[in-house]
Structure formats: structure tokens, C-alpha cells
Chains A and B, each alone.
Chain A
């Protein structure tokens, strides 16, 4: 990688309330308008100052073609803007914006993601991601696919239902502002019924409507905007085969490769995009995160999982803590696809 490209930093983050259902449209405009304003204010920028815009969302989640076009109405994009969109979690939109700043063509970017999962039946919608010729027609839903993965790890001695319940108990207690918040012990959780054996409701992320916004700037510009930007020291992503039986589902080679390339060492805080409890354990094992690392202080996706924004929100949550000085070196992770098929790792450091 070229070393004379500019460093990039996060200068602002905002997110819509994570809730079970909103009354707005599936194009995200109602959720995005206030948080785009909030994120710009946090960086002391106006929309005219933004050099590049990039979003992440899904037409299938919205139940219509071109939902991202309608989302542009949240910006008020006239005069016209320099803009792009990924059909993926907005963490990958952040990656595209990071690349754009590194070209030197722009020195600021605003990234947003949105998802209104309440509009459909999420676990069935996500089955549309599978091989359309041989697997999709059987409708293996996303919770069942994750259940197979959880079972593999349990049978292989990598984790247990009790360890999974402990992840759930910690996540549910982490954040009083999250969609899911309760003080409960692992033992109490284990008395609740299965949803898809070995997964119980607490092992699965909730259904969430939400959106998130991150503002990026070239590091020099970032230091003019705020006192302590969160500098991206590495950001990498990798994809695995879609054939579930061809993958080693008990670990995550794509996360390991991305973390290695991103230089993920010396981490003290991690925000992991794990929509299922066993996936948090799997990711901790794959990344080699020990007890000294604070994981998901936000509660993570298990406390609120706005599809196509939750990965970006992990980066935003980690960056917020770096900007506040609560962590000096943090890792944020985002995932996409069935059973952690595609993974992104972003490493941040305090840039004062």
C-alpha cells in the first residue's frame, strides 16, 4: 500500500434510536435527516463542505428497487453531490469513502447506512442471500443457518450454551440507551426456550429499525475540526465462499486475514458486529482478543441491530470512545452475508 496517500480519520458519529419498529418509509429518510444534521454539527461542517457521500443499504430489506435513491432526499442533494452507494452494510461504504479520501480528490466524506427490518420478516428476507438455484429454494432462514454454526462450535468444544448466555447477559446489561436492556443472569437466560436449537432468543440480535452516520476527513483536516479525531490506521475486508459446506464455520478466516492486514495489535477496546452470541465468542477467538480487551461496551448488535447500519455503527461506537479518550487503540468489526461470510476490520487510534 502506498505510504504517501493521506491518513484518514473519523471526526463524528450519530445514530438514530434503535427501535423495534418505526412508522416511516423504508428509504430511511425520516431516520436519516436528524442524524445527518447531528453528525455534521459534531464535525462543525455543513453539507456543502462534504467532498464525497457514500451509503449502504439493501433494496430487498426495503421491499423495493432503488430505495437508496429515495434516501438521497435526506441530504437535499442540490447542487449535485459526488456520491456512491454500496448494496451492503455501510461499513463497506465507509471503506469506499476511505479510499476516496486516499486518492486525494476529496478531504471530507459523509457515510450513512439505514435499514427498516420491521417492514418484512428478516430471517426469511436474508434467505434470499443464498445460492438461488440449489439452496435458496429450500428457504433456510438466517437464524437456522446461524444455529447450525452454533451447534458446530458447541460439538467441537469451542463454546457452550452457558458461555453464549454469558455474552447475552453482558450485552443486555451494557447500554441503558440500547433497544435491548435488562439485568439478567446467564442462569436465568438458560431457562428460556429455544428459538432454533441451540439458539435461544437472547442468542439472536433483535429486529431493529435504525440508521447511522459517520463523518470522515483527511487526518490533517480532521485535527482542525476536532481535538482528538479517531485515525484509521488500517481498514481491510475479505470475503469467503458462499458454500456453507465448503467453509470452516467454526472460525472466521476472512476476519483473521483482514485483522492481520489491518495491523490489529495492541487493542484495548473492540466493537464486534456479532448478530449471534456464539459469533462474538468465535470472533474473539479468531482475533485472539483476551480478557484485557473491553468488548462491545455499546451492547453490540445483540442490543440493537439496524441492518446495513449496524456494522457502520460498530465503527462509530469504537471511534466515539477513541475520540473521548476512553481508548487509545480500538478495533471495529463489521460482517455481511450468511454465517459471517464477509468481514471487515477497522483499527483506530487516538489522533491528538
Chain B
């Protein structure tokens, strides 16, 4: 039988382009200490640790969880290392949730980090193995054609991407941990910023961040008497990078994961039933694209929700009240930040970016060439 699971605490670092004040261990520990404090627990209460991060080449350490074992409190305990590309932060939280759902452990610590300043992510992404299409210009160059295709298919007006950037960066200004906090950003300033990968401009692009996130999960007994975020559903799906006929704008893996997620959570009308969504949007246009892929609206309609201001704080479906990936992007942790922020919303602990009365929230992450998806739904009530 599947055991109930809940988020007991969430912690994160201050995200910056270079956290030269800490080692990788120090960075992870900062997030872990905050998560344990939020949960009112100590290392002695933790049964197992799950660590996730994106490619090891991003820091230049092979399987860094081995070196980090002491710092994240895993020594003498089970330690699992998850890696599912950019979705890894979400997958790591989901694997930790499985350990509780499966009745294996009562309290599990999930940690995700990226310290991009230790190495060079662009270099790591630009290695050209034989028989593979080179990514070349990094993630932006890879995804820009998908965005152009979305605009052509949906007929979305040109300024939608800039609207998303303005919203997310202003939200980021409400989040004390965000890397970019730009309260004064405007549509005009975004549209005046440099074009990097047409149609993606500089201000519509995620930063490179050093940062970490940690989540403490527990079973029903561990959750008793506390303010927690109950897990209502988790889902993961994968499809190959390339094959004839693949829809890279609205990938089947994302649609399948969302369908499984809503079914498991008993949600039939996500737009009405979900109060807040933390969606992995590294380039502005992915907000309308994922709104459609997740089934909040019909295909081709996502940009209308954005244009109408319905994804702003106070709108019908606030998307990325934390500022999202556009405001902080420690790659391996970015997915877990989405999952953790969703939990903070339903626990009422999101501070200045709290969505009033949030009871049900979505955490979403994707990775690879829009082919790895992980998501969860959390709620203030027991499922």
C-alpha cells in the first residue's frame, strides 16, 4: 500500500552568479540547514538522503555526492544520487517521495545544487560526441527554434515573451533568495535588451546561478500536528531526444506526465483547481508553451492567459510567484526550487510572494531537449 507523504520543511540558499564565499559542501549545507530548521528537525531525525544535480561536468567533480556525504548528513545512512538532466531537482524530490510512499523511510532529506562558477556549463554542453547533433550555442540556441515554431503555430503576438520576463523578474524582487531582483523592469526595457537567440532576448533568459535547495519529506506520523504540504501526486516521463515526427514544442512526454499527475491528484479542471504553479521556465516563452503542455488550456491558447495577466500574482493562476527560473537558475536545483516553492505556497510560508489562500500547487521541471519531465501536486489538505 502506498503510504501518504508530506513536505515537512523547505530551505534554499541565496542564489548568486558566483558564491565564492562557500565550497560546494558549504552551499548545500546552507540549504539543508534552512530546510531542517523549517521542519524543526535535526540530522539525527533523517533516515536517508537523496542528492540531485545536473551533469558532473558542470563542477568538474565525478559523483560529488560522495565528497558531500559528510556535509549533507548522509554519512552512515543511505545516500542516492539522481541525475535526469534539467528535470533532476524535481526528480530528486520525487525519488525522495517514493522512499516515503513505499514505506521504506519515515523522514528523507532531498538536496539539489549547482555551483556553476566552479566550472563552465557552456563548455560542458558543447562537447561534441560522434554521431550527435552539436548543441553549439548552449541551451538558448537549442530551444530558440522551438519557440519560433510555437509562435508560428499559435499566432502569438511578439510581446508575450517580454510580458513573462517582466512578471517573473518583478516576482523575483519579492523573493529574498532570488538571484535577479528587478522591481523596476518594464516591457520596454525587456524589448530593448539584446537579442541573443531570435526571438529570445537577454532579459528573457535565465541567469547562471550558484545555489542549492533542500526539502525534508516525511510520512503521516512525521507530519502529524504540523503545517505541511501533502503530496497529492507525482509523475515522471521521458522520451528520446530526436525521432521522426517528434513534437518538440508540445512533447508527448510532458502531456503524458501531466495527464497522469492530474488523474492521480483527482484534478479534472487544473486551471480552476490549482491555486499556484511553479513551472520550469528558463526562457520566457516556455510559460505559454508549458501552460498548454500541462493541460491548463487548449493547445494554442497559453499565450492568451499570459497576455490577460492571469498568470500574475492575483491572477487566475499565478505562475512562478517566486520569480522562477528566470530569476534564479542553479540548474540542478532549479527543479527542486519549483517543487519546494509549490510546497511553501500551500504551507503559507512564501512571504512577500505568497498567493493568497493557496491550497493546491503544482511543481514542474523539465530537462534535456524538452524530453525529461517531473512534476508534483501538493496540497494543504490530506489527499
A residues adjacent to B (C-beta < 8 A): 1-5, 25-27, 53, 58-60, 62-70, 72-73, 76-88, 92, 95-96, 99-100, 102-105, 125-126, 128-133, 136, 236-243, 253-254, 257, 336-338, 341-342
Contacts and interface: CB of A to CB of B under 8 A. Distances in A.
Interface in B83-134: 83-85, 91, 95, 98-99, 101-104, 118, 124-125, 127, 129-132
10 contacts: A59-B83, A66-B85, A79-B256, A80-B239, A83-B237, A87-B83, A128-B60, A239-B78, A240-B69, A242-B68
Interface in B231-246: 235-241, 243, 246
5 closest A-B pairs by CB:
A2-B103, A102-B102, A80-B253, A65-B55, A128-B62
Given A25-B130, A80-B256, 6 more contacts: A1-B103, A72-B238, A77-B240, A84-B95, A103-B101, A128-B60
Contacts of A238: 76-79
B375 to A, nearest CB: 12
A26 B256 contact: no
A29 B24 CA distance: 33
Contacts of B101: 103, 105
B75 interface: yes
Contacts of B74: 239
A77 B76 CA distance: 37
Nearest to A8: B102
B70 A242 contact: yes
A72 B240 contact: yes
A241 B69 contact: yes
Given A102-B103, A239-B75, A82 B236 contact: yes
B98 A96 contact: yes
B156 interface: no
Interface in B213-237: 235-237
B238 A81 contact: yes
A86 B80 contact: yes
Contacts of B56: 58-60, 87, 128
Contacts of B99: 99
B84 A85 contact: yes
A137 to B, nearest CB: 11
B60 A240 contact: no
A196 B74 CA distance: 32
Given A68-B83, A99-B99, A239-B77, A60 B132 contact: no
Contacts of A103: 2, 98, 101-102
Contacts of A131: 67
Nearest to A62: B129
Nearest to A131: B67
Given A69-B85, A82-B236, A84-B82, A129 B62 contact: yes
A79 B55 contact: no
A70 B66 contact: no
Contacts of B65: 87
Contacts of B149: none
Which of B103, B118, B132, B256 has the largest count of A CB atoms less than 10 A from its CB? B103
Given A60-B62, A70-B132, A72-B238, A86 B252 contact: no
A87 B81 CA distance: 6
Interface string B132-143: 100000000000
Contacts of A125: 62
Nearest to B58: A65
A105 B98 CA distance: 10
B79 A342 contact: yes
Nearest to A83: B238
B103 A63 contact: no
A162 B249 CA distance: 63
A51 B196 CA distance: 41
B125 A65 contact: yes
A235 B64 CA distance: 24
B298 to A, nearest CB: 21
B3 interface: yes
Contacts of B256: 79-80
A72 to B, nearest CB: 6
Nearest to B60: A132
A125 B57 CA distance: 12
Nearest to A253: B76
B192 interface: no
Contacts of B308: none
A68 B1 CA distance: 31
Which of A4, A62, A67, A82 has the largest count of B CB atoms less than 10 A from its CB? A82
B66 A5 contact: no
Contacts of A132: 24, 59-61, 64, 67, 118
A129 B240 contact: no
Nearest to B23: A133
B82 A1 contact: no
Contact of A240 (B2, B76, B125, B372): B76
B66 A257 contact: no
Nearest to B105: A1
Which of B74, B82, B95, B130 has the largest count of A CB atoms less than 10 A from its CB? B82
B346 to A, nearest CB: 22
Nearest to A70: B132
B349 to A, nearest CB: 27
B81 A88 contact: yes
B107 to A, nearest CB: 13
Nearest to A240: B75
A80 B252 CA distance: 7
Contact of A63 (B59, B104, B127): B127
A107 to B, nearest CB: 13
Interface string B40-73: 0000000000000001111111111111111000
A342 B81 CA distance: 12
Nearest to B82: A86
Contacts of B329: none
Nearest to A65: B55
A337 B66 contact: yes
Given A59-B56, A96-B95, A257-B76, A83 B61 contact: no
Nearest to B124: A65
A129 B80 contact: no
Which of A66, A76, A105 has the largest count of B CB atoms less than 10 A from its CB? A66
